[in-house]
Amino acid sequence: MQSKLSISIVTLALLAVMVVGCPAPTPSPAPTPTPTPTPTPAPAPPPTPSPTPTPSPKPTPTPERIVTERVIVEIDRSSWILGSLTVSPDSRRVAYVVKEDTAEEGSKQVVVVDGTKGKRYDTIFREVWARRQGRLITKGSLIFSADSQRVAYVAEDGSKQVVVVDGMEGKRYAAIEEDSIIFSPDSKRVAYVATNGNKQFVVVDGMEGKQYDVIVTPSGGKISFDSPDSFHYLAFEGDRVYLVEESQMD
């Protein structure tokens, strides 16, 4: 009995030595958590530029029209010859032609300047057939000078024609080129082309020039003033064309 107890004690002692001599187990270290990688955000696409709006065209401003009016003349249209109305360059004077029928003289024409009637003539404006327009038109000469102070026109009296300047008659001729009558730039001189027989010549302030077969100018008129005292025109004599230049001294 004692022997079994001794063995048990020895056995317990050995176990105790073994327990004491054996180191305690080292705990395994906790695993280090692997960090979850932060996802890299995808680059944002570049912004799409907004289209530049095309500016609407600005409306063109309509210019304002300022209108004034005044009565410059009253005409009895029943006797007025259509197409004869002429206004001076300064728009202050008016001239026109009317028809007058009298028992003594029959039908006559009269120039009216600023309401004052002139002498009666057989014809001042006449009707002609315009081939291009295909109709009758009136044709004549009634002009103001550049300074608006003088008036001139061609009138037919019987078988002759005459230029009337400021109410004063010039010399009568067989024919006067009505489109040729012109004032000088300073309004002091008046010139026109007259015909006697089969010759034409320029008349300036009543003075007759050299005679030619035909007188013309490149611009389609008859006489061109280069200055108040000088003018030129073209003239045919036979087969030759002359440039005629004239000067007139006071």
Average pLDDT on 20-25 reads 50
pLDDT in tens, 149-180: 999 999 999 999 999 999 999 999 999 988 88
- Better-predicted residue by pLDDT, 149 or 14: 149
pLDDT in tens, 115-149: 999 999 999 988 776 677 677 667 888 999 999 99
| Rounded Cα–Cα distance for residues 142 and 144 (Å) | 7
Report angle CA 137, 140, 141 to the nearest 5 degrees.
145
Residue with token string 């004599």? 237
| Rounded Cα–Cα distance for residues 142 and 133 (Å) | 22
* pLDDT at 4 exceeding the cut of 70: no
pLDDT > 90: what percent of the chain?
Answer: 51
How would residue 52 be classed by pLDDT, with cut points 50, 70 and 90? confident
pLDDT in tens, 192-214: 999 999 999 999 999 999 999 99
Mean pLDDT estimate for the chain: 82
pLDDT of residue 243: 92
